[in-house]
A and B are shown apart, each in its own frame.
Chain A
Amino acid sequence: MAGQIFAYIRFKDGVPDDSALELVAAAKKIAADASVSALVVGSGVDAVCNEVVSSYQEVWKIDSDALAYPNAEMIRKALINILPKDCILLVPHDTFGMDLAPGLSIKMDSAFVADAVDFEGLEGDTLKVIRQEYGGAVTTHVNCDISAGAVINVRPGSFPADESKAAGGAVVDKSGEAGDMAAGRRYLETVAAEVGDVDITKEDVLVSIGRGIEDEDNIEIADDLAEAMGAVVSCSRPIVDAKWLEKSRQVGTSGQTVKPKVYLACGISGSFQHLGGLKGNPFVVAINKNPKAPIFQIADVGIEADILDFLPELTDAISEQ
């Protein structure tokens, strides 16, 4: 087995993301007896270190005023200086992980696997990883040669949080070894997402449309159904990219996190970025013309149908009641 396993801890306002404990479980799935350490990088990170210290053997921290905003270009430079060459580094596959990790693997001359959803064991220097392609339509086994180390982006939510807190580690301050972090990309500010005319995060019933709606003119089919149901229309990302609906109606990791009681997914395939915005265990009805669409794996009830035909029928039947 190659070197140590590290987990990169993402946090916000001093609170670690859910991925902080998911990566403990992910590391144990790679090697049950591995020594797993955490990396906590930022400015004023003691609270975060204390939160995770019982779950990791060691917590390596880099604490620097220059990292008040987590600029991946700067953090990459620091990590190259502190990480052992042959380690396995696990990073959440989120907008920061996508920014940091591929380049880091090049600089460390180690292998890179993106968006791992599971591990199927380590044999010698070969780690078998499970991932998905085509928006989750198919799954693959991937062999990764970890002999010179590996950087692996792990999909948030794909491992259960390991709450055992059984590692009882210590915090090690690595700030002095971080070196020069000056980078060609400088953070300026964060612009908050626009607020729209409706707040889909407060709605109990959402009629959500995806690329299956096919044309802007067809959106009124969803509007009519939502009106009949007393619901509100939300959508997947391609509908917003096409400028058919406002960004504030987008459900997903780069949109809104909603907690409805009932969610009608109409012509939505069920990508993890979309489902990442659907919380609170709603009753999910999926309507899709492809019986193998991934959305049917997570839905409670499925209907194989063309939404352009089915939704108007449903609207009429509800209106007649």
Chain B
Amino acid sequence: MEILVCVKRVPDTAENEIEVNSDGTDIERDDLVYSVNEWDNYAVEEAIQIKDNVGGSVTVVSVGDEESEEVVRREMAMGADNGILLSDDAFEGSDGKGVASLLKAAVEKGKYDLILTGAQADDGAAQVGGMLAAMLDLPYASLVNKIEMIDDQKIKVGREIEGGNQEMNEIDLPCVLSIQTGINEPRYVGIRGIRKVASVEIPVHGAGDLGVAADSVGDAGAKVKRLDYFMPELGEGAEMLEGSTEEIVEKLIELLKAKGGLK
């Protein structure tokens, strides 16, 4: 099975407190720790497990600036065979459709049976996988939390739906799947693994290499554009308990008693 996994480098929300910068043009980028998007990491792990079971190869592709190379390399340290970076100044400001059209061009440069994305990334849009599938005219399933091989024509996939129920489907290959967290337990990547792939060549493709018109992607091609970041005024919010820890604990216990929180 030839598998392509689309990954994105994002600020790690488990490591950073994300805040709006002083003029609202961006989030505060100073001292941010970046990592691979959580959902994508599950997708790469799933791809590696499939490859280990049925053979084939795993290629990781990312749209981003030069820094995105580090996440491609990290996923190669995990066990992906190849990495590709799609990077060009013209790609900056792409909306979901722009990113999907770049990935489409990358897909068409290879021959893949299975294309995986994360279910969503830092912007919570959950859009690129579905758009990519539609552009390629391939079947699609989102929020996939189980993959079973049937034969080389089709696979069985579980989609996570409301209430934690699972919708089972049969889907024809090739297809595009967006992967939900929890589908597997992504392996740990140690320093040694990173070192092994430190000098592997990761090809970088720009607009010309991909054969996409520069004005069809990036800010120029985007129908959806972010204007600013802000913190909304949302009513009163919580009453914050202040004081020493003992004082806070005491106040909280009173409140819990009053509200029936202590038996």
Query: In the complex, how many angstroms separate the beta carbon of A274 from the nearest chain B beta carbon?
Result: 13
Q: Which residue of A lies closest to B158 (CB)?
A: A191
In the assembly, what is the distance between CA of A117 and CA of B32, in Å?
27
Residues 192-214 of chain A, each 1 if its beta carbon lies under 8 Å from chain B, else 0: 11000000000011000001000
Kindly supply a per-residue 1/0 record for chain A positions 266-307, scoring 1 wherever the CB is within 8 Å of any chain B CB and 0 otherwise. Answer: 000100000000000001111000111000111111111100
The answer to whether A285 and B252 touch across the interface, beta carbons within 8 angstroms, is: yes
Are A184 and B171 also in contact (CB < 8 A) when A95-B160, A111-B223, A138-B18 are?
yes
User: Nearest CB to that of A118 among chain B residues?
Assistant: B232
- Residue B47 interfacial (CB < 8 Å): no
Max chain A C-beta neighbours (<10 A), residue from B130, B158, B172, B230: B130
A204-B260 in contact (CB<8A): yes
Interface residues of B in 129-176 (CB under 8 A from A): 129-131, 133-135, 138-143, 156, 158-172, 175
Size of the chain A interface, CB-CB below 8 angstroms:
96
**CB within 8 Å of B: which A254-270 residues:** 254-257, 261-262, 264, 269
Does B213 lie at the interface of the complex (its beta carbon under 8 Å from any beta carbon of A)? Answer: no
Chain B contact residues (Cβ within 8 angstroms of A): what range? 35 or more
A253 within 8 A of B: yes
Q: How far is the CB of A318 from chain B (nearest CB, A)?
A: 6
A303 with B252: CB separation less than 8 A: yes
- A321 interface residue, CB < 8 Å from B? yes
Does B165 contact A133, Cβ atoms closer than 8 Å? no
Q: Do B19 and A144 touch across chains, with their CB atoms under 8 A apart?
A: no
The residues of A that contact B231 with a CB separation of less than 8 Å are: 138-139, 292
Q: How far is it, in angstroms, between the C-alpha of A140 and the C-alpha of B228 when the chains are bound? A: 6
Known contacts A113-B224, A142-B225, A296-B237; can you find 8 more A-B pairs with CB under 8 A?
Answer: A98-B143, A99-B143, A131-B124, A187-B167, A193-B163, A242-B185, A269-B13, A321-B253
B175 (CB) vs chain A CBs: closest residue: A184
Q: Compute how far the CA of A185 lies from the CA of B225 in the bound complex, rounded to whole angstroms.
A: 33
Q: Taking the nearest CB of chain A, how far is it from the CB of B7, in angstroms?
A: 18
**Interface-side segment among A45-53, A57-65, A102-110:** A102-110
Are the C-beta atoms of B252 and A184 separated by less than 8 Å? Answer: no
**Which A residues lie within 8 Å of B120 (CB)?**
98
Report which B residues bind A (CB closer than 8 A).
11, 13-14, 17-20, 27, 96-97, 100, 119-120, 122-131, 133-135, 138-143, 156, 158-172, 175, 178, 181-182, 185, 223-232, 234-235, 237-241, 245-246, 248-250, 252-253, 255-256, 259-263
User: Which residues of A have CB within 8 Å of B20?
Assistant: 138
A237 near B182 with CB under 8 A, answer yes
**Residues 50-84 of chain A, each 1 if its beta carbon lies under 8 Å from chain B, else 0:** 00000000000000000000010100000000000
13 contacts between A and B (CB under 8 A): A95-B143, A113-B224, A115-B126, A135-B13, A140-B228, A142-B227, A185-B141, A190-B167, A262-B261, A283-B255, A285-B261, A286-B238, A309-B245
For B261, the chain A residues whose CB sits under 8 A away are: 205, 229, 231, 261-262, 264, 283, 285
- Give the Cβ gap from A174 to chain B, nearest Cβ, in Å: 22
For A110, the closest partner residue in chain B by CB is B223
- Give the distance to chain A from B140, nearest Cβ to Cβ, in Å: 6
A310 within 8 A of B: yes
B164 touches A142 (CB 8 A): no
B256 contacts A114, CB within 8 Å? Answer: no
Q: Is A223 an interface residue (CB 8 A)?
A: no
Give A179 to B234 CA distance when docked, in angstroms.
Answer: 46
Given the complex of chains A and B, what is the CA–CA distance between A261 and B156 in angstroms?
Answer: 41
Pair B27/A193 contact, Cβ less than 8 Å: no
Q: How far apart sit A131 and B239, CA to CA, in the bound complex (Å)?
A: 26
Give the residue of B139, B182, B246 whose beta carbon is less than 8 angstroms from that of A184.
B139
Could you tell me the distance in whole angstroms from the C-beta of B152 to the nearest C-beta in chain A?
15
CB distance from A229 to the nearest CB of B (A): 6
Residue on A nearest B138 in the bound complex, by CB = A184
Residues A95 and B159 in contact, CB atoms below 8 Å apart: yes
A261 touches B159 (CB 8 A): no
Q: Is A145 an interface residue (CB 8 A)?
A: yes
Assembled-state Cα–Cα distance A189/B157 (Å) = 11
Residue among A94, A99, A111, A305 having the largest count of chain B Cβ atoms under 10 Å: A99
How long is the Cα–Cα vector from A220 to B97 in the complex, in angstroms?
45
Query: B253–A300 contact, CB under 8 A?
Result: no
Q: Tell me whether B169 and A185 are in contact (CB under 8 A).
A: yes
For residue A321, which residues in chain B have a CB less than 8 angstroms away from its CB?
253
A163 within 8 A of B: no
Choose among B119, B124, B237, B252 the residue with the greatest number of A CB atoms under 10 Å from its CB: B124
A243 and B131 in contact, given A106-B100, A296-B237, A303-B248 (Cβ under 8 angstroms): no
| Whole-angstrom distance between the Cβ of B151 and the nearest chain A Cβ | 15
Q: Which residues of A contact B255 (CB under 8 A)?
A: 283, 285, 301
Indicate whether A296 sits within 8 Å of B240 (C-beta atoms), given known contacts A102-B96, A132-B124: yes
Whether the pair A313, B224 counts as a contact (CB closer than 8 A) is no
Tell me how far the C-beta of A223 lies from the nearest C-beta in chain B, rounded to whole angstroms: 16
Task: Determine if A255 and B167 form an interchain contact, defined as CB atoms under 8 angstroms apart.
Answer: no
B261's nearest neighbour on chain A, judged by CB, is A262
CB pair A301 B229 closer than 8 Å: no
Instruction: Compute how far the CA of A144 lies from the CA of B95 in the bound complex, rounded to whole angstroms.
Output: 10
Does chain B have a CB within 8 A of A250?
Answer: yes
